[in-house]
Amino acid sequence: MSVELRNQIGREEFDYPTLMSALSAYASPRDRVTALLRSGTIVRVKKGLYVFGEAYRKMPYCRELLANLIYGPSMVSLDYALGYHGLIPERVEALTSVTTGRARRFETPLGIFVYRPTPNLSVGVERIEDNGSAFLMAAPERALADRLRDDRRDGVRTQREMERYLREDLRLDAGGLAAMDAGVMEELADALQSRKVRLCAALVRSLGRRR
């Protein structure tokens, strides 16, 4: 059954209707799902969302795509996206996203998925294709804007304080910061209604003039 199922489902990540369709020839497909979970052939990420167990994978599953699917509408952003774009040195374990829904946290067999609320998902989003998977990821400017908005500390008032905060507290790559698009940051400041993002946009524009 395991090999047959693997041949019917081409992707590593799949939902409950796809699984039911692949098991439709069996008299009790729900009992088959229970057996597949117990044997480790498939792994339940959350209710209605699965990946194949390690022994049956043809390629690595895509955590970023799973983040989009676990809770939505959402896109990968914040610290994970900053790390993905090479803007911070730390490896980020939890996969962080922003959503127009409520803040959520999911602890799954595949790791922790964290969702922070945002008023807007349309500005600064990229569709990234990687190894046959496509997912929504924040552009560098958007990832930083979301990080700034999510940080509730209110002590940053000037461009100098913002630059110190970005470089010392966030340890943001200086070259990556200078290469950001000030116009996009300004658009994000309006979309996210954030004073700190607007201050960051002014800093990015100032850094651009120094180059």
Q: What is the pLDDT of residues 49-105, one digit of tens each?
A: 999 999 999 999 999 999 999 999 999 999 999 999 999 998 888 999 999 999 999
Whole-number pLDDT of residue 154 = 75
Residue with tokens 């993002």: 197
Tell me: the pLDDT tens digits for 16-43? Answer: 999 999 999 888 999 999 999 999 999 9
| Mean predicted confidence (pLDDT) in 121-136 | 95
Residue 166 has which token pair?
Answer: 């970005």
Per-residue pLDDT band at 131 (split at 50, 70, 90): confident
Q: Residue 72 CB: number of other CB atoms within 10 A?
A: 15
Using DSSP's 3-state secondary structure scheme, residue 114 falls into strand
Round to whole Å and give the CA distance between 58 and 211.
47
Whole-number pLDDT of residue 210 = 63
Identity at 164, one-letter amino acid code: R
Per-residue pLDDT band at 3 (split at 50, 70, 90): confident
Per-residue pLDDT band at 4 (split at 50, 70, 90): confident
Nearest in space to 102 (alpha carbons), one of 61, 79, 73: 73
| Mean predicted confidence (pLDDT) in 108-123 | 97
DSSP 8-state symbol, 12:
S
With a pLDDT cut of 70, the percent of the chain lying above it is 98
What's the pTM? 0.93
Whole-number pLDDT of residue 208 = 75
Whole-number pLDDT of residue 2 = 78
Using DSSP's 3-state secondary structure scheme, residue 173 falls into coil
Contact 152, 168 (CB under 8 A): no
Give 204's contacts (C-beta < 8 A, 6+ positions apart): 177, 178, 180, 181, 182, 185
Residue with tokens 């390629």: 59
Tell me: the pLDDT tens digits for 160-192? Answer: 999 999 999 999 999 999 999 999 999 999 999
Pairing label, strands 74-76, 13-15:
unpaired
| pLDDT over 70 (residue 139) | yes
Round to whole Å and give the CA distance between 43 and 132.
20
* Domain ranges for the chain: 2-56, 64-210
**Phi, psi values for residue 86, rounded to 5°:** 75, 25
Whole-number pLDDT of residue 1 = 61
